[in-house]
Every structure is written in C-alpha cells, then in structure tokens.
Structure 1
Amino acid sequence: MEEMMSILIWLTVICLSSFCIHVYNILWMRPERLREKLRRQGIKGPPPSFLTGNVWEMKKIKSDLMAMKLSNEAVAGFPTANYSPFIFPYFEQWRQKYGPTYMYATGNVQNLYVTDPDLIKEICLFKSWDMGKPQYLIAQLKPLFGFGVSRANGQIWAHQRKIIAPQFFIDKLKGMVEIMVESALRMVKSWEDKVEKEGGQADIRVDEDLINFSTDAISKACFKSTYSKGTNVFELIRLLERAISRTPIIIRLPIIRYLPTKTNREVWRLEKEIEKLILKQVADGRERSDDEKDLLPIILEGTVAEQLGEERANRFVVDNCKNIYIAGHETVSSVATWTLMLLAAFPEWQARSRAEVISIFQGHPPDADSLHKLKTLTMVIQEAMRLYPPTSFIAREALEDMKLGDIYIPKGVNLWIPITTLHRLPELWGEDVDEFKPERFAHGIYGSCKFPQAYLPFGNGPRSCLGQKFAMMELKVLLSNILSKFSLSISPKYHHSPSFRMIIEPKYGMQIILKKLSV
C-alpha cells in the first residue's frame, strides 16, 4: 500500500512538473526564442517581464503622461496636430529609442513594430498564405468578427473573399447610389428641421447622426429586404463594440478573454443575441425570390455552392454579416465625422468643395457617374483620412518562417504597422505633415508622398478593404448633400480630444454649427 502511494505521489510530481515546464515554455521560452532570433539581426526593444511582457510598462507610460497633465485632451491641439504620441505614447517613446523597427511583447505574444516604408511594402504586398491576421487577435475579437472575411486566413479567407468581393465591384456599386442618396437626404432633412426650428442655425452633435446614416445605408444597400431587422443587429453590434473596447486590444493580455469578468459575460450575451437575429435573417432570406437579391442571399448561395453542413453554413453567414455590418458603418461614420470637422475648421476648402458640388450636380441628386467628377471633395476626403485614418493599425502574423526584405521573420511573430504614425512622418510627407493640405493629393495617392505605400487608410495589397469603393462613394454622396444645404463651423461646445477604441473617434462627440445656406 505504501509502495502504491509512493508511486502515485511520484506520478503526481512528474505530471505537475511536466505541466509547469509546458506552461513555462509557452509563456516564456517560446517567445524568448523568437526574440533571440530577432536580436541576432540587430532588432531591439524594451525588455519584457514574465507573464505580462511589456503590458504593464505600456500602462505605466500612459499613466505617467496623464499624471503630468500632458494628456491628449490637454496638448493635442486643434484641429490637425499629431494626437498619436498622446494616445499611444509607449509606441512613440520606443520608436524614438529603438528606431523604426523594434520588438515588444504583450503577454506571451511577440510583436514587431514597423514604420520602415520598404518593409511595410513587403508586408502589404505579400501574397502567400504564410502571412495572415494574428491568431491571438482573431481569438480576442471573435465575438465581434468571428472568422469572417476580415479576420480569416488561408483558404477560408480566399473562399470568402471570392464570394463577397464581386458585390463591391463598381458595376454593383452604381446600383447602390440611389439607396445612399435616400439615406443621406433623410438625415439632412432632420438637420434642416432642427436648423429651421432654431431660426436658421443649430448646434448639432453630428457624429451620432452620421453613425445612424451609415447604419441606414449599409443595411439597405446590402440587406434591404430585411432592413428593419438589420438595424436591430446594428444596435447590438454597437453595444458589443463598446464592451470589447473598454480595454484597448493592443494592451490586453490574451488570457483575459477566458475569465468570467463582468465585461466578458456581457460580451458573451450580446454575441448570442446577435447570432440569433442574423440566423433569423438567414431563415427569411432563404424564402425570398430571385428578384430580391442583395448581399445576404449571395452569402447564402456561397454556403450552398460549397455544400457546407448546416452548422458551418450558419457560422459562415453570421460571421460575414457581422464583418460587413461593422466595416460598412465604422469607416464611413468615422471619416465623415472628422471630414466635417476639418471642413468647418477650414472655410476656404469648405467653399471650394461646395462650389464644386453645386457646379457638378446643379441641384440634382448625385449619381454614380457624377460622383467621379468630384476632384476637390475627393482630395479633402483623402487628406482627412491621412490625418484621421479609419483604422489605426495593420496587424499580420508570420504563420510560417519567412524573409521580408533583409529581415528574417520567425513563425509566430506579429507585425504591427501604426497607420496613425505612418501618416504623420515628416520624412515621408514633408515638414507640413501636420497641416491640412488636400492639394497634396492633387495628382492622386502616388503623387502625395515619397512612398505611396505609406498611405494606408484602407490597407494595401491582397488584404485591402473590400468595401473601400463603397465607402468613398457613400462619403461623397453624404458630404455633397450636406455641403449643398449648410455652411459649417466648429461649435464652442466642441472639446477636441481624439480617442482610441476600435477606431479613432472624438471622445466627447463632434459638435458642429450648421447654418442654412441662403438661396
């Protein structure tokens, strides 16, 4: 009996030891081996701590900045000064200390920060499936995106893109302009009513209305037959976004997602409710006739063509509906918000854009062909997206060992391109980098800076945003309608404080004074 107990004790000790070694290998030795391979190539970075990597240092740098009252709110300036060092102070400090390419860690995830234009070009144009979206980010954001086209990798991603991409070709988009105009006119009419009620001028928080506009437009354009249900999905997705973004994803420890915290429980509940609503749309979509085709039936047909089982088919549809909902409203509402602020702050460009709109449309609603003639407004939008890009980072993971330029990237390393920083580098854009100068895009993106790959509002290469043409068309429809009805100025109530959640947004909302134009 004693001998049996002794054997059991030894087996327990051996099992516990093996488990501890395995955990230690995952949490420290594996990422340390990756770091050593990078160090040998001269790549440096802040020394990481066991378990947390550099997360606590990132939080401390941010906390110290706030304590010194050098927060984004206090010193970011208005309206075009560089806010990135105040939102992401750790990245800027490390870039100054370690150079344009350095390494840092979040928990056991090893990251490579990249602002070298040549290396960025290599990353963005890399076509092999050996590079994809970071697996830990896919897991972290799974409630929001699932494994849809914006987060999937490899063959799954290629299959989804093949099904969805044709729906955003220009010939399909032309048929969506009327829907965009309808949504824009509805919002503009609500503003006209407020302005008239207040005697010709009204102070309006526009960002909330712009979110509602983009929700309305994407729901009708892509899911018009189930529009009312689509708006319900949007409301829940916005709640889910807020819950997930309470802790910025770039400083969140991966293990946190498994814990039954109050936020996680809310996220799990919302995820189930959203899935239930979308599946109800799926059921309705299967009953609709061929002449009602919009994006939802196309996605359904993609699952049928591949003969997926019911569970996989449902997951395919749910995940891609969420991806389209999120991408469809976030990009447009964010860019429109900051563009209106910049137009209000720079009356000369507001006047030039308005004159162009009036000259081209002559009082008629926008159409697809006329939208392409809006050269001045296009430059304004492009410059707004440079100063306030709709996404802050491009993230990739080396799924296999690879060579990018002169750097060997070991499998498992995550690559981060900080768009907000890249768009503000004087060595790429000139000394006027923090000025609002739409004329820098007079000859298109390729004439705007020394390295065109440094302009990444929609990403670049094979994984660039599917809906970028849709977004640009929607922005032109929206802004041309607003400019033709109102003059814009910044409200004294507006507090300029760019803030990062999933995107860069005004922390306290965007207050604009709208004044009715005299006929």
Structure 2
Amino acid sequence: MQNLISEDKKMETMGNLLILLAASLCLYLFVALLNVFYKYWWIPHRVQFIMNSQGIRGPPYEFIHGNNKEAAQMLMEASTKPMALTHDIFPRVMPQVYSWVNKYGKTYLSWNGIRAQLLITDPDLVKEVLKNSDKAFRMPKVSYFFDKLVGDGLATTEREKWARQRKLANYAFHGESLKNMTPAVVASVETMLEKWKSKEGKEIEVFQEFRLLTSEVISRTAFGSSYLEGEKIFDMLMKLSVIAGRNIYKAKIPIISKLWKSADEIEAERIAKMIHDSVMRIVKKREARVVNGEADNFGRDFLGLLVNAYHEVDEKNRLSIQDLVDECKTFYVAGQETVNSLLAWATLLLAIHSDWQDKARAEVIEVFGNQNPDSEGMAKLKTITMIIYETLRLYPLISGSIREVRREVRLGKLVLPTHLEVYMRIIALHHDPDLWGDDVNLFKPKRFAEGIAKATKYNAAAFMPFGLGPRSCVGMSFAITEVKTALSIILQRYTVTVSPTYVHAPAPRITLKPQHGIQLLFHSLHYDV
C-alpha cells in the first residue's frame, strides 16, 4: 500500500514537472513570437507610417525579406545583360537604386530585410549626416559575415575605441610615413613589370596582376612582410569576401536562424579562425625578435604600432588580441581591395582615352625623366591627379556609407525615428547630372583642373570616394600615392590599349570590380628606367 502511495506521488511530481516544462516552453514560444511580431511587423510598419506621413515613399516592405528579393533579382538581371563600353554604369551597378530613384525620387525609403534604409542624395543632407556634429548618427551593426571579414576594427567600431584606433592609423599613414613607403611601392611595381617583359604585346589581365601587386605593397608597407608571407591571409580574406557578398540580400528566418547555422556561416567561422592564427604568427615573429635581442622595438610600421599598443602598460590605451587581429584584417581588406580596383579602372580609362594617356605620360617624363618616381615628384603630377579623381568619380570604389539613427533627429525638413538607417549611395551622387552637368557620364579629367572644391562648386558631398567627415578613409593619401607611383612607372615603359576580348561589366562586390576581368595590351616604349 505504501509503495502504491509512493508511486502515485512520483507520478504526480512527474506530471507537475511536465506541466511546468510545457508551460515554460509555451511561454518561451509566446515571448519569441511576440518578439518576432515586434521586430518583423510592428517596427517596420511604424517606421514606414512615420516616413510616409512626411511624404517619403519607396518600395513596400515585405515580411522578413524587405526588398531584398526584388533587389537581388534586379542585380542578377543587370549582370547578365551586355553593356557597351560606356561610363554610364549606374543602371548596371545599382539597378535597384537607379530604378527606385527614378520612381520615388532622390530621397526614398527601402528595406534591407527588416532594416529600414532612407536613401539620400542631397549633398547638404549627406554632409550633415557624415559630419555628425550632434552625435545623432552612429555606425550600424555589421552583418554576421562582414563581422567575420573585418571584425570590430577601425571601419566599424565606435566612440573611445574608434578614437584610439584612429590615432594609431593617423600616425602610421602621416606624411613622413608615406614618404618612407614609396621605395617599397616602387620595388613591388618593378617586380610585377619584370614578369611582364615576357608578355609584351600580349594580353594581360590587369585586375589579377594588380591584386598581386597591391597585396604585396600592403604587406610590405603596413605589415613588414613579403607577399608570400601574407598570401594565405589574402586568399582567406578573398574567400570570406565572396561568402559575405553572396549573403548580402539573404534574410534570416526568425528563431530558426538562432538555432541552426548555415554552411556559409560554418565556413566563415572556420576561415576567420585561420586568419586569426595566421595574423598571430606574424605578430609572434615580431615579439620573438625583440625578446631575442634582434630588434629593440616592434617596428615603426602599422603592425609595429599595433603590437606596441597590445603591450601598452596603460589599460585604457591597450589593445586586446582580438582588436589587434581585427585592425590587421581591416587594413588588409581596405589597403588591398580599394587600391586594386582604383588602379585597374584608371589603367582601363587610360587605355580607352589615348589622348589622356599621352598627356599623363608626357607629365611623368617631364617630372621624373627615366628615373623611378620619388615622393617629392608626386605633388607635381597634376594631370595624373585629375585622371585619378575622375576615375574615382565615374567608378567609385565603395557603394556608399550607412549611418544608424541613434535617437529621433531632424534632418533637413524630415524627422527621423529610431530603427532607421540613412544610406548615402556614392554612385548616385557621382553620376547625378544636377551636380555634374549633362556630361556627367563622360570621362573629363579637366573637371578637376582647379581642384576638387571648384569641380564640386564647393559642395563637399558631391565627391566623396573615400567618405567624408571624421570617419573618412585614413588611408586615402596612401592609396592615391600608390596608384600614382604604379601608373607613372607603367607609363614610362608602355603604351596601353584595350584588348578586343575585353567585356565591359563593372560589378558591385566589396568594391567595384570588373565582372570578367580587364584585358589590356601593353607595348614597350623601350625606355630603361
């Protein structure tokens, strides 16, 4: 009898536990569904209502996906259509933005998944957002894949951490440092051109060639290692950038995405760990040289500054291991991707426009003769500077800048709510006939003959290839110096023409890249430099 009572009590306890478990599960599901409703329905419709009431329209929000499916479809269709050899690239590179600007106006609301994005192309509003004088705008949280690519580095971090890391970067890329970098750039270009001797008069795919060049330059100048040492890191970063690129318009399914990782997420984690280990091996070599007495400091380049900051006694200024790795990744990506694209597009434009190629070559010969470029002569290259600026205008390296509204704020005549991002599409500004005139899609470096201010009619946000305001690209001078150096040496030795096999197809990736490469022909001028 007693055993039966004991069994009944056990059963009752088990029953109560099951009821409690079921109730807890139901409560969890209810809270989760409430959260999904709030994030995926209530907030988007609230933001849409607020902006619509102020006269701002745009493609309607679709549950979970926003406008991503429509944008991805437009991009896919644009990438399969043939394009003439023209610089009117806006409709191909950003077909969704081009279409929506024409349909809804220069300021419209669109949806990246559940993230509301207000696109603005008014230079005065763009300047107000990027100057951010009242601290109303901040960097948005990056996606999972871009976090693996660059981490919480200078390009994405905020506040005190950003100020500390910006100070380090400013020191690494100030004028004297740039002067010291020029010989390393020259040496890397020389190595590339030595390989070209066997290809004279033959087709060369320059985007790939310049990828190797810019990889070696950033390794030598910022990290003190040869391309061979950094090769694995670059290859892994390229794989990560491909994964990040193909997931830009993929929406995450509520709840399920928290419990289950996709194959791309697993692969991104694996590659990110390998990059971390590779960077740390380079760092350990620096540390070992100091410990063994082979060097009395960690180096004067960017990596040396990072290692010094990692060993900083003052905790406030000390970098963590992860900070150090993230900064290395940021500078590997930014220092290589941007210069690679700029140099490739500039060389293509010189090949297309032979009159400007002749003017640029004449200037290089006048300044440097048959000698290698030096830092003093760089400032005298006015024509090449104009060509680089016009290249950056027609073929902007990055698609745009995004800021998140951190509190309700007035922007022009609009009142912006929280849960809204402001997107400034650089290509829309650079290809706007209202800002640049009816010849906006023509290659006319002469626009910049009297400098950027005159070319933009003193409207700073009309031309912002490296961003604007306090968060503008710290490596801008380095990038332009590297491109000037490479173009000067190439022009001293070769005439450049477009190969008949070249297919013009600019494509938006991490930076603006040629979908099918850039095939050019190089004919030797037989100058000994």
* Residue 235 (1) aligns with residue 235 (2): yes
Letter in 2 for 1:172: S
Larger mean CA deviation between 404-413 and 329-338 belongs to: 404-413
Distance 1:211 1:9 in 2: 57
Cα gap change, 1:483 to 1:52, in 2 (>3 Å): same
Please state if 1:503 is matched with 2:511.
yes
Sort the Cα spacing of 1:499 and 1:335 in 2 relative to 1 into closer, same or farther, 3 A: same
C-alpha contact 2:145 2:265 (8 A) present in aligned 1: no
Instruction: Give the drift of 1:323.
Output: 0.5
CA distance in 2, matches of 1:9, 1:143: 38
The answer (yes or no) to whether the contact 1:117–1:454 under 8 Å persists in 2 is yes
CA distance in 2, matches of 1:486, 1:226: 26
Shift of residue 242, structure 1, vs aligned partner = 1.9
Structure with max Cα Rg: 2
| 1:455-491 C-alpha deviation (Å, 9 max, x unpaired) | 1110111110010000010000000000010001000
Please list, as runs of the form range in 1=range in 2, the aligned pairs for 1:2-13 lying within 5 A after superposition: 4=16, 12-13=25-26
How large is the Cα RMSD of the aligned pairs?
A: 2.4
Q: CA deviation at 1:171?
A: 1.6
Equivalent residues in 2 for 1:462-477 (5 A)? 462-477=470-485
Partner residue in 2 for 1:479:
487
Matched with 1:198 is none
Please report how far the alpha carbon of residue 336 of structure 1 lies from its aligned counterpart in structure 2 after TM superposition. Answer: 0.7
C-alpha offsets along residues 220-264 of structure 1, whole Å, 9 cap, x if unaligned? Answer: 0011157642233122212221222224x2x23256986533322
Indicate conservation of the 8 Å contact 2:59/2:67, yes or no.
yes
SS of residue paired to 1:489: strand
Letter in 1 for 2:346: T
Q: 1:225 to 1:511 in 2, by over 3 A?
A: closer
Q: 2:145–2:243: 8 Å Cα contact kept in structure 1?
A: no
Give 1:156 deviation, angstroms: 1.7
How far 1:127 moved relative to its partner? Answer: 3.9
What is the SS of the residue equivalent to 1:218? helix
Q: Counterparts of 1:15 and 1:181 in 2: how far apart (Å)? A: 62
The runs of 5 or more residues in structure 1 that have no matched partner are: 196-200
| Aligned counterpart, 1:207 | 207
| 1:97 aligned to which of 103, 106, 120 | 103
Is the counterpart of residue 165 in structure 1 residue 170 in structure 2? yes
Q: State whether structure 2 residue 122 is matched by structure 1 residue 116.
A: yes
One-letter amino acid matched to 2:342: V
Alpha-carbon distance between aligned partners in 1 of 2:20 and 2:225, rounded to the nearest angstrom: 68
- Return closer, same or farther for 1:204/1:495 CA change in 2, 3 Å cut-off: same
Aligned residues: 504
Indicate the SS of the match to 1:141: helix
How far residue 188 of structure 1 moved from its aligned partner, in angstroms, is 1.5
Indicate which of 176, 181, 188 corresponds to 1:183: 188
Partner of 2:351: 344
Unmatched 5+ residue regions in structure 2? 1-11
Amino acid of the structure 1 residue aligned with 2:221 = A
- Aligned mates of 1:262, 1:139 — CA distance in 2: 13
Deviation at 1:303, TM superposition (A): 2.9
Equivalent pair of 2:215/2:227 in contact (CA under 8 Å) = no
Moved more, 14-23 or 485-494: 14-23
- 2:389 matched to 1:382? yes
- The alpha-carbon deviation at position 180 of structure 1 amounts to 0.7
CA 1:154–1:138: 2 relative to 1, 3 Å: farther
Q: For 1:17, which of 8, 30, 49 is the aligned residue? A: 30
**Shift in alpha-carbon separation, 1:372–1:255, aligned structure 2, 3 A:** farther
Report the CA distance shift for 1:11/1:233 in structure 2 as closer, same or farther (over 3 A). Answer: closer
Report the counterpart of residue 42 of structure 2 in structure 1.
29
Is the 1:207–1:337 Cα contact (8 Å) retained in structure 2? yes
Name the SS of the counterpart of 2:233 in structure 1. Answer: helix
SS in 2 for 1:134: coil
Give the stretch that moved more between structures: 336-345 or 36-45: 36-45
- Of the three residues 247, 250, 259, the one matched with 1:252 is 250
User: 62, 66, 79: which one pairs with 1:49?
Assistant: 62
What is the correspondence of 1:356-505 to structure 2 with a 5 Å cutoff?
356-450=363-457, 451-505=459-513
Q: Is the 8 A contact 1:138 1:146 kept in 2?
A: no
* Displacement of 1:191: 1.2
Q: Which moved more, 1:35-44 or 1:389-398?
A: 35-44
Give the Cα separation in 1 of the matches to 2:28 and 2:242: 42
Greater mean alpha carbon deviation, residues 504-513 or residues 413-422: 413-422
Q: Kindly tell me: are residues 273 and 75 of structure 1, through their superposed partners in 2, closer, same or farther at Cα, counting changes over 3 Å?
A: same
Describe the shift of the 1:18–1:497 C-alpha distance in structure 2 as closer, same or farther (beyond 3 A): same
Give 1:92 deviation, angstroms.
1.6
Distance of 2:479 and 2:371 partners within structure 1: 21
Q: Distance in 1 between matches of 2:265 and 2:115?
A: 21
**Which of the numbers 141, 145, 148 marks the counterpart of 1:143?**
148
AA partner of residue 36 (structure 1)? F
Partner AA of 1:490 in structure 2: V
Contact kept? 1:100, 1:113, Cα under 8 Å: yes
SS at structure 2 position matched to 1:175: helix
Aligned equivalents of 1:134, 1:51: Cα separation in 2: 19
CA contact (8 A) 1:379 1:441 kept: yes
SS of the equivalent of 1:417 reads: strand
How many angstroms does 1:62 deviate by? 4.3
Q: CA deviation at 1:383?
A: 0.4
More displaced, 313-322 or 443-452?
A: 443-452
CA distance in structure 2 between the partners assigned to 1:142 and 1:234 by the alignment: 17
Q: Do the aligned partners of residues 512 and 34 (structure 1) sit closer, same or farther apart at CA in structure 2, a change above 3 Å counting?
A: same
Identity of aligned residues (%): 32
By how many angstroms is 1:411 displaced? 2.2
**Contact 2:54/2:414 (CA < 8 Å) preserved in 1?**
yes
2:275 is equivalent to residue 274 of structure 1: yes
Query: Against the structure 1 CA distance between its residues 79 and 156, is the aligned structure 2 distance closer, same or farther, given a 3 Å change threshold?
Result: same
Structure 1 residue matching 2:320: 3-state secondary structure: helix
Question: Could you tell me how far apart the structure 2 residues matched to 1:74 and 1:343 are?
Answer: 25
TM-score, normalised to structure 2, is: 0.90
Query: How has the CA–CA distance of structure 1 residues 407 and 303 changed in structure 2, closer, same or farther, with 3 Å as cutoff?
Result: farther
Match of 2:6 in 1: none
Kindly indicate whether residue 257 of structure 2 is the aligned counterpart of residue 283 of structure 1. Answer: no
* 1:194 corresponds to: 199
CA distance change for structure 1 residues 465 and 280 in 2, over 3 Å: closer, same or farther? same
* Kept after mapping to 2: 8 A contact 1:79/1:342: no
1:218 corresponds in structure 2 to: 218
| 3-state DSSP of counterpart to 2:440 | coil
Whether the 8 Å contact between 2:145 and 2:268 is mirrored in structure 1 is no
Contact 1:497 1:508 in 2 (8 A): yes
Residue 403 (structure 1) shift: 2.4
The letter for the 2-side match of 1:503 is: T
Per-residue deviation, 1:23: 1.8
Q: Given the alignment of the two structures, is residue 512 of structure 1 paired with residue 526 of structure 2, yes or no?
A: no
1:221 maps to a residue whose letter is T
Rounded Cα–Cα distance in structure 2 between residues aligned with 1:260 and 1:449: 47
Contact 1:103–1:111 (CA under 8 A) maintained in structure 2: yes
Once residues 166 and 213 of structure 2 are traced to their aligned partners in structure 1, the CA distance between those partners, rounded to angstroms, is 26
TM-score (norm 1): 0.91
3-state SS of 1:416 partner:
strand
CA distance change for structure 1 residues 306 and 407 in 2, over 3 Å: closer, same or farther?
A: farther
Shift of 1:319: 0.1
Contact 1:106 1:252 in 2 (8 A): no
SS state at 1:245 partner? helix
**One of 274, 294, 302 as aligned partner of 1:295:** 302
